[in-house]
Chain A
């Protein structure tokens, strides 16, 4: 899916010129003048990779409030703060609130584009991770209760013999379950199976 650069700034000149600059580099840009419109849109398209360029000083909702709201509605979306006059306390507050970076107007375009690229890549990998986890959760639900039990034991690091003793079944039956687990969880080795179990959070249970 093509990455999308979200732009939230109350200044029309900045919105238009920045869109023009980003479009010249083949980025898809969606710009907003008001936080509310943006937040609605981002919630609907949360799975598209991208990043948000956010003007920290706006009338109405402040940049920091928007930052907080993005954390709720579009978890994982990196936010780059743009500002006309950087001051240290504001930058610290923004970074503490989870901003990805902080860029001062007028932009050094190389630097800005580099930061946008990093942010988009970060978001892409975040989305991939989320996606992989969702797939594994779907596979986990196809397992029988006994298979789920055996997988938990395997992730805990128990041997086939120990599992057989714990569940009062023969080691051979454990081997059968393990074979089915590799097939059903679509992994090729025991190591991958344990990794999948780890990602599912079985270790902590």
Chain B
């Protein structure tokens, strides 16, 4: 069913309409803006009595009428193009927060007993939809409205839904916004495009009165009985439309308009009533002046101070991030410090070991010099004595031969003693890391000579199997000796618990690939399940009173020269096999840098 109305327009009004159509808002005259919520002809018929009243009361005033939508009305207000406004209570309350509007009078609906209760909202469905009785039955249905901003057309129903806990954003199948005029909604309902519609109260009745529909075709959902109200409503009732003046409106004119409206015999206008109930609805819905505000005072306060709160929250976030970062940095630094401390401890221990060597070197150097002089003297005396015994004058001396023999041995022993001291001095000499060319067998012999006393004291049987055909190699002599002596000393200590006849120690040297490999083998207990890698780490010791540094120091020295140490159980039998390899490459070993 469509609504086609032949416009009924009085001649007087036609003139006013012409003025309006020209949209010359700037022209002189009193400008009245009216919210256009229905078709223009309907509106004209609705407002004609009021317009006639004004025209008659204030004949000297030329009225310009502007039929405006919600948005157009607000735009006209914003540009100061209106002197008076006629709009619904909802729109008025919304605008009142932004524009200086003052109600001159409130319209009284003939259907209502009081102007306080004359406007409501109805939920309408087709009469045959028996399944829809209450608001709650709308779950899963489609609801048609004119606009979410419509006061009687939506916001009042929305308030009821809110209070009944019906969340229309979730529980409805769809909320169809179909726009003004409101009669279109009934057309959509008839065509079953929607299941129910929201109408301003009394619209249905007024359409029925003009014969445009039959009330029996429709049914009201959740009807609310209000005494002395002749229209059906689904909501409680609110004050009717206000006639509004603006701050810029001439006050004398406003007074005259108010007088005209209130003193009219028609009785359509009464003194302005309170619109507080509308404010309450808007506050609950958080729309209009309350959009963005919450009904809760706490939330409200939070929203009012949101900039400050946002700032505080950002600050807190920053503090938190800073805290996290600081924590992370502290952990990282702690880890680094611990590592550095551990490295430092290793280095200190190695330096301690080195410095003990250095100290021993110093002591030995001094001692060697002191001993060398008397030893030289001993040798000199022995040689001199031998020379005297060889003279012809001593030919007859009975003990000549024995003494000659003794003098020769004396000189030889003295020289031997001096040689030992000299070797010790060379070994412990504070030397720069000078790489020299050496024969492997010489180094082996020297290492064994240095330990000769130790070996014979413990009656250890040593075999040295370095062949003279081995190539010469370049390395730090003192460090090679230090490593070999360390390996040999460990082997000697491993042999001590054994019976004398079982103490066998072997030092050998061979070429494997491009490396020279020194091997120290003992007949001791071997690794006994210990991890050979662990043995090479600093501070690992199985000896009482040992520092656990000898092998790790040797490992460090070997690596410095481009070689390495390897410990394992002797595959050829019992005991430990310690291997010390050095590269035989042609490049100068002095160029090999220790890894940082």
A18 to B375, CA, bound (A): 12
Contacts of A16 in B (CB 8 A): 377
Cross-chain contact B387 with A85 (CB below 8 angstroms): no
- Indicate if the CB atoms of A11 and B383 lie closer than 8 Å: no
User: In the bound complex, how far is the Cα of B220 from the Cα of A5, in angstroms?
Assistant: 148
A107 touches B374 (CB 8 A): no
B372 touches A105 (CB 8 A): yes
Kindly state whether residue A106 has any CB partner on chain B within 8 Å.
yes
How far, in whole Å, are A17 and B387 apart by their CA atoms in the complex? 13
Residue among B376, B384, B387 making CB contact with A14, cutoff 8 Å: B376
The verdict on B459 contacting chain A, using a C-beta distance below 8 Å, is no
Is there contact, CB below 8 Å, between B381 and A25?
no
Contacts A11-B373, A23-B384, A106-B414 known; list 9 others, CB within 8 Å: A13-B374, A84-B369, A84-B372, A84-B376, A85-B369, A106-B375, A106-B376, A107-B376, A109-B383
**Cα distance A85–B425 when bound, in Å?**
9
Which chain B residues in 477-536 approach chain A with CB under 8 Å? none
- B373 touching A105, Cβ below 8 Å: yes
10 contacts between A and B (CB under 8 A): A14-B373, A14-B377, A20-B381, A21-B384, A24-B386, A85-B368, A85-B422, A106-B372, A107-B380, A109-B380
Tell me if B381 and A105 are in contact (CB < 8 A): no
Give the shortest distance, in Å, between A84 (CB) and chain B (any CB). Answer: 5
B414-446 Cβ-contact flags toward A at 8 Å (1 or 0):
110010001001000000000000000000000
Please report which residues of chain B, range 338-381, place their CB below 8 angstroms from some CB of chain A when the two chains form the complex: 368-369, 372-381
Q: Are A24 and B385 in contact (CB under 8 A)?
A: yes
For the complex, what is the distance from the CA of A160 to the CA of B372, rounded to whole Å?
69
In the complex, which residues of chain B have a beta carbon less than 8 angstroms from the beta carbon of A105? 372-373, 376, 418
Closest to B418 in A: A106
| Residue B3 interfacial (CB < 8 Å) | no
Tell me which of A11, A13, A24, A84 contacts B384 (CB under 8 A): A24
Q: How far apart are the CA atoms of A84 and B379 in the complex, in Å? A: 14
Report Cα–Cα, A85/B368, bound state, in Å: 9
Q: Is the CB of A20 within 8 A of B380?
A: yes
> Which residues of chain A are within 8 angstroms of B380 by Cβ–Cβ distance?
14, 17-18, 20-21, 106-107, 109
Give the interface size class of chain A. Answer: 10 to 19
Whole-angstrom CA separation of A185 from B418 in the bound complex: 58
Q: Which of B372, B388, B418, B422 contacts A24 (CB 8 A)?
A: B388
Question: Counting chain B CB atoms within 10 Å of each CB, which of A22, A24, A106, A109 scores highest?
Answer: A106
B381 touches A17 (CB 8 A): yes
Kindly supply a per-residue 1/0 record for chain A positions 1-44, scoring 1 wherever the CB is within 8 Å of any chain B CB and 0 otherwise.
00000000001011011101111110000000000000000000
Decide: B369 and A106 in contact? CB cutoff 8 A: no
Which residues in A have their C-beta under 8 angstroms from that of B385? 24
Chain B residues with CB under 8 A of A109? 380, 383
A13 and B383 in contact, given A24-B388, A85-B369, A106-B414 (Cβ under 8 angstroms)? no
Nearest first, the 4 A-B pairs at minimum CB distance are A24-B387, A17-B380, A17-B377, A21-B384
Q: What separation, in Å, do the CA atoms of A46 and B520 have in the docked complex?
A: 61
Most buried by A among B373, B378, B380, B381: B380
Residues from chain A with Cβ under 8 Å of B383 in the complex: 21, 24, 109
Q: Determine the chain A residues whose CB is within 8 A of the CB of B368 once the complex forms.
A: 85
Q: Are A20 and B384 in touch, CB under 8 angstroms? A: yes
Interchain CB contact under 8 A, B387 and A25: yes
Q: Which residues of A contact B378 (CB under 8 A)?
A: 17
CA–CA, A20 and B414, complex, Å: 17
Complex: how many Å from CA A107 to CA B425?
18
Choose among B386, B387, B388, B415 the residue that contacts A106 (Cβ–Cβ < 8 A).
B415
A11, A13, A16, A84: most-surrounded residue (chain B CB, <10 A): A84
Cα of A88 to Cα of B591 in the assembled complex, Å: 24
Q: Shortest Cβ distance from B387 into chain A, in angstroms?
A: 3
Whole-angstrom distance between the Cβ of A27 and the nearest chain B Cβ:
11
Which residues of chain B come closer than 8 Å to A24, judged between CB atoms? 383-388
Nearest CB on B from A33, distance (A): 14
A105 vs B369: C-alpha distance when bound (angstroms):
10
In the complex, what distance in Å separates the CA atom of A17 from the CA atom of B385?
10
Among residues of B, the one whose C-beta sits closest to the C-beta of A83 is B372
Contacts of B377 in A (CB 8 A): 13-14, 16-17
Complex CA gap A17/B368 in Å reads 19
Bound Cα distance A112, B374 (Å): 18
| A13 to B376 CA separation, bound complex (whole angstroms) | 9
